[in-house]
Amino acid sequence: MKLVADSGSTKTDWRVISEGEVTSEFETEGINPYFKSNEDIVKLLKYQVVTQLVDENEILEVYFYGAGCSSEVKNKQLAESFREVFINAKVSIKHDLLGAAIASCGNEKGIVAILGTGSNSCLFDGQRIAKEQNSLGYILGDEGAGSNIGKRLLIDFLYGRTPEHITKKMNEELEVSKETILDNVYKQPLPNRYLASFVEWISQYIQEDEYLQRVVLRSFDEFFITHLIRYEDYKNIDLNVVGSIGYHFKEYLYIVAFKHDMKLGKVIKKPIDGLVEYHAKA
């Protein structure tokens, strides 16, 4: 049996494959080696993953694609955590960017972007990642991502730059104050998820509110300028986007792609189905 997973910083999608067919599917919290210790990861695997399986010892292959898995050192540590739980399995740890490329491009060339809690991008040649722009995380980067969009909203709110009607709605509907925001960002665990959590609220009102549209459009525009238009011949290569932010704000993605003369290809919420198809055949 094979266990295939795609993990962002917030959520992980899991699929169990037996004889080419999916026999089980479930979701857990995200596994990012930059935000969780090996001990935390082992606990998560035991209490959130193993409990969903009939027998973990029947898992012979594990294919994990995750955010934060671009470092050989981190991947080795993560693989050790998996082997501690799945003692009979061959374990493969790969970057979620490669997973997104496989799921959205198949064997075709394309520019691939992840727009979820965090953001990333690469040029995929149909077999491997040929070029990748640096991804600096939610403090220094993550342009276009949920954490970046939420951060922009909160910065405007704290500086008194949000329109009066938005300030009123935020005070009425969200637990926002200078003290609460700074505590969650600087003292509580997983501040990237906290920042990204405001995107759900934004999505409720964005269709009718120009200010919220500008927040999203500015974040997307910075992502294109900082990352996507730096790929050679970017105007002639399809841009494929994976992730909840790109998926739910697709129409604004089209606007910014058109502005930069880029052709938008596939926009998919989750890459797990494409990864299952790929590994089921192997």
- pTM greater than the 0.75 cutoff: yes
Q: What percent of the chain has pLDDT over 70?
A: 100
Sequence-separated (6 or more) residues with CB below 8 Å from residue 36: 44
CA dihedral (237, 230, 105, 259) in degrees, to 10, reads -60
Mean pLDDT for 174-203 is 93
Fold topology of 2-99+272-281: Nucleotidyltransferase; domain 5 (3.30.420)
CA distances to 34, 40, 88, 143 from 193, in Å? 14, 17, 33, 15
Identify the band that residue 56 occupies on the pLDDT scale cut at 50, 70 and 90.
Answer: confident
DSSP 197: T
Give the model confidence (pLDDT) of 64-108 as tens digits. Answer: 999 888 788 889 989 999 999 999 999 999 988 899 998 888 888
As a whole number of angstroms, the distance between CA 256 and CA 217 comes to: 7
Mean pLDDT for 112-138 is 88
Q: What percent of the chain has pLDDT over 90?
A: 67
Is residue 191 predicted with pLDDT exceeding 70?
yes
Q: What is the pLDDT of residue 70?
A: 79
Identify the band that residue 41 occupies on the pLDDT scale cut at 50, 70 and 90.
Answer: very high
Q: What is the pLDDT of residue 282?
A: 66
Count how many residues are written for the chain.
Answer: 282
Q: What is the pLDDT of residue 69?
A: 85
Higher pLDDT, 138 or 17: 17
Helix axes 250-259, 210-226, angle to 10 degrees: 50
- Tokens 């399995």 locate to 89
194 Cα distance to chain centroid: 14
* CB-based burial label for 189 (10 Å; 0-12, 13-18, 19+): exposed
CA dihedral (179, 185, 191, 195) in degrees, to 10, reads 70
Kindly tell me the sign of the dihedral angle through the C-alpha atoms of 175, 218, 96, 26.
Answer: positive
User: In the structure encoding, which two tokens stand for residue 32, read together?
Assistant: 């990012």
Lowest mean pLDDT among 48-62, 145-159, 202-216: 48-62
> Beta strands 21-29 and 11-18: pairing type?
antiparallel
CA atoms within 13 A on the CB side of 225: 9
User: In the structure encoding, which two tokens stand for residue 151, read together?
Assistant: 């951060």
Per domain, the residue ranges of the chain are 2-99+272-281
